[in-house]
Chains A and B, each alone.
Chain A
């Protein structure tokens, strides 16, 4: 898994690629928590190149989102693909998170 941090439209986008499993999910959580420590309350995750996520990855997504929500912000997820999208659908998380089809719509935060 690689996590690339980009600044777009005055927002932070974490581009997560590869596979998020039990071994490396904490890295994603650390990357998000580092942003939260800087005072950010809304993060966009671009998961267009994320090919795999297990329940340990979902734990990290949920944990970060709860922290952001408690600060009045949100974890916006965009471009879910393949198995990752399937996992978000099965678990109902696709309805619990603000999920967007495109990066542009996630940045603007409009309703999907």
Chain B
């Protein structure tokens, strides 16, 4: 239904990844996204969610993550991932150096780079202690 924003709230644990993917895939179905977009959607949501799980709550028990989606127009899906952890703006993250040979490559650091490269629209805002990262994906993008 237009205007509805289904929401999923859960602990920031990587073991919940499949649950988060399944939830966002419902949005892909509602938005009638073509199958080819679903792999990219999985990748975007995994990278963003796993990043929150690994870094947002460094001390003690994991905090909560809220995932929401909406279908502003048919063929387009908007997803927001929000947490109350350490302030982190992925848009300001240093770009990965993709020209390094294996010997000089760090093992990690490619997740956010993939998100920034693959998400056609990506916005971040910090408000009232929340990190809110939103991306859009559409059949035409």
Contacts and interface: CB of A to CB of B under 8 A. Distances in A.
A40 interface: no
Contacts of B98: 90-93
B96 A91 contact: yes
B117 A90 contact: yes
Contacts of B46: 21-22, 54, 56
Contacts of B111: 54-56
Contacts of A21: 17, 42, 46
Contacts of B117: 90
B102 A91 contact: no
A47 to B, nearest CB: 15
A65 B102 contact: yes
A91 B114 contact: yes
Nearest to B112: A55
B114 A97 contact: no
Given A54-B43, A55-B50, A69-B103, 6 more contacts: A22-B17, A66-B102, A66-B103, A83-B40, A87-B43, A91-B110
Interface string A54-66: 1110110011011
Contacts of A95: 99
Contact of A97 (B15, B39, B102, B118): B102
| Chain B interface bracket (under 10, 10 to 19, 20 to 34, 35 or more) | 20 to 34
23 contacts: A22-B50, A23-B14, A23-B17, A52-B42, A54-B46, A54-B50, A54-B111, A54-B114, A55-B47, A56-B50, A59-B110, A62-B105, A62-B107, A65-B102, A66-B105, A83-B39, A83-B40, A90-B114, A91-B113, A91-B114, A92-B98, A93-B98, A95-B99
Contact of B43 (A52, A59, A69, A97): A52
Given A22-B17, A90-B117, A55 B102 contact: no
B118 A90 contact: yes
A96 B101 contact: yes
